[in-house]
Amino acid sequence: MERIWKLVAEVLVEPGDMPSGLTKGFMNVTTWADSADSAADKLAKYIERFNWHVISIEDARPVADDEEYVDEQMEDMIARTRTNPNAIILGTFHGYKAT
């Protein structure tokens, strides 16, 4: 059975895609899936359209029906995902400098 999953993904983006110029970063993602692996696969296939790549999945867990978040962006992402069974919602890209 599919549920909404929340992922924290480390991603590699194309140079120039982000205003900061950074190419590695983390983002929250919400999507419908039946497992952590299927959610990660769905994300990887989606972001390949932008020539971006998943480096790693730092956290993946289903969202409880009654779960509440203090973060308004996450609340909005979950609400948008609930109304669209095909949704893959990407949160803010938090870039970091590679060492």
The predicted-structure confidence for 20-79, as pLDDT tens digits, reads as follows 999 999 999 999 999 999 999 999 999 999 999 999 999 999 999 888 777 899 999 999
Which run of H or of E encompasses 8? strand 3-12
pLDDT value at residue 69: 78
Q: How far is CA 29 from CA 25, 56, 99, in A?
A: 13, 13, 25
pLDDT value at residue 8: 98
Tell me the C-alpha distance between 97 and 75, whole Å.
Answer: 28
Residue (of 92, 99, 90, 37) closest to 62 by Cα position: 37
Helices marked H in 31-99: 36-47, 72-82
Question: Model-level pTM?
Answer: 0.92
Residue (of 24, 81, 89, 29) closest to 52 by Cα position: 24
- Can you tell me the mean pLDDT for 6-16? 97
Tell me the C-alpha distance between 87 and 96, whole Å.
Answer: 27
CB atoms within 10 A of CB 42: 18
Residue 75 sits in which domain range?
3-96
Checking if the pLDDT of 19 tops 80, the result is yes
How many domains in the chain? 1
